[in-house]
Amino acid sequence: MIAGMLIAALAILALAYVAAPLRFGAAEESQVEGRPVEEARSRKRAALSALLELDEDAEMGKISTADLVKLRATYEMEAVMALIQLDDAEADPADDDELEVEIKALRKRMQCPSCGAVRSPGEPCPRCGA
């Protein structure tokens, strides 16, 4: 009798384990859709934190001026790229008016075709030199 109840309990647990993805599948889909936004927010926070730490290190004299300039440019580019990715991930194409379309086109022209870094139009990429 106890063995039968134990087997029944284990069978119910196994069934619940197997059926869980079917019940929570919709929740996982919404998490997949939100990942680019969360990833962009995380990259933005990391770049901004790195900039703050870089400023603190410069004030304390822990970093040379040449390294400060190079690292600051790198982290600023990373923050801008994260903001662009965040804008693209959160953008609703139905909300685009003419100005927004023009801004997006300008951003695309400022993006390096090789590495995706932000660069001034017509100038070489500061990250990869392309």
Predicted local confidence at residue 59, as pLDDT:
92
Predicted local confidence at residue 31, as pLDDT:
44
Predicted local confidence at residue 52, as pLDDT:
92
Query: Which residue did the predictor score with more confidence, 61 or 18?
Result: 61
Whole-model pTM: value is 0.47
Please report, for residues 16, 114, 124, the alpha-carbon distance to residue 128 in angstroms, rounded to integers and kept in the order given.
52, 8, 8
Q: Which residues contact 77 (CB under 8 A, 6 or more apart)?
A: 117, 118, 126, 127
**Chain segment 19-31, per-residue pLDDT in tens:** 655 555 544 444 4
**Quick check: helix, strand or coil at residue 118?**
strand
Predicted local confidence at residue 34, as pLDDT:
56
Predicted local confidence at residue 30, as pLDDT:
42
